Amino acid sequence: MSATSLATSMVNKLQGKVALITGGASGIGEATAKLFTRYGAKVIIADFQDDRGQALCKELGSTTISYVHCDVTKESDVKNAVDFAVSKHGKLDIMFNNAGITPPLLYTSIFDSEKSHFEKVFDVNVYGAFLGAKHAARVMVPAKSGSIIFTASVATVIGLEAPPAYTCSKHAVVGLSNHMCMELGKDGIRVNCISPFLVQTPMIDGALGSAVDKNKAAEWLATAANLKGVTLKAHHIAEAAAFLGSDESKYVSGLNLVVDGGYSKVNPLITNVIKGSYT
């Protein structure tokens, strides 16, 4: 393949595919909607942030991107979003279950956590993901193809000082992905997760609260990261989603793709203690 042909195939890696993205109006979802559109996909943004979703469609100015109101905690909304994609484009190739929330990050102790935190977070992160995957599978099974993707978290592979409700919800998402990979493989459907390190998004900014400056938060994340010289951005996660949605990964299923710059492979506590003993 020539360099020109290779470049063209990269740009058109999602050409002809139809993708539905929950939580697609902001953060990782917004970055993914933009990238998928650039790669040739027909994209449906499913979100309850109507103004942001419609503004994003207008910004991109493409006839291949649409918005549908969707509260992922309501099955009727999720079913409608999937049906909207099929009625508009005739199929659904990629379902990116990305919508998610977290309690404020100050609630990192089990003693500060409330049952209500778990109920609210599980409604969106787990039940919302389940509903998205269920209704995507409903239309993918007859087609004998499709890619279902979940946004999980690096908290699924390493102990992280995150709110317990958030951590538990993301472990549940990985478990759901593993089950669906097993169940739907016979129907030609691939099911995978993406587990990012902390990405500065509106969700993270909101969880940090107004008392924390966004620039200071970005500085904290960069300091905590293992891989230096690059700052994790939402578009890096979007690229991972594009890979899992494309034919480049057509034999990849059951993967929890950790995008954390090696953070989960390093325990800095011991190193810090050793360094501290010499200062």
Residues that are catalytic: 166
Q: Cβ contacts of residue 217 below 8 Å, gap of 6+?
A: 200, 204, 205, 208
Q: Which residue has the tokens 């993901």?
A: 129
Contacts (Cβ under 8 Å, ≥6 apart) of 262: 226, 227
Q: In what order do the strands lie in the sheet with 146-151?
A: 65-69, 42-47, 18-22, 94-97, 146-151, 189-196, 256-259
Q: Residue 245: in which H helix or E strand, if any?
A: helix 234-245
User: Tell me, what DSSP letter sits at residue 261?
Assistant: T
How far is 213 from 217, CA to CA, in rounded Å? Answer: 6
Rounded to 10°, the helix 164-184/115-122 angle is: 30
- DSSP per-residue codes, 132-145: HHHHHHHHHHHHT-
Cα separation, 221 vs 219, in Å, equals 5
Residue with tokens 């103004």: 51
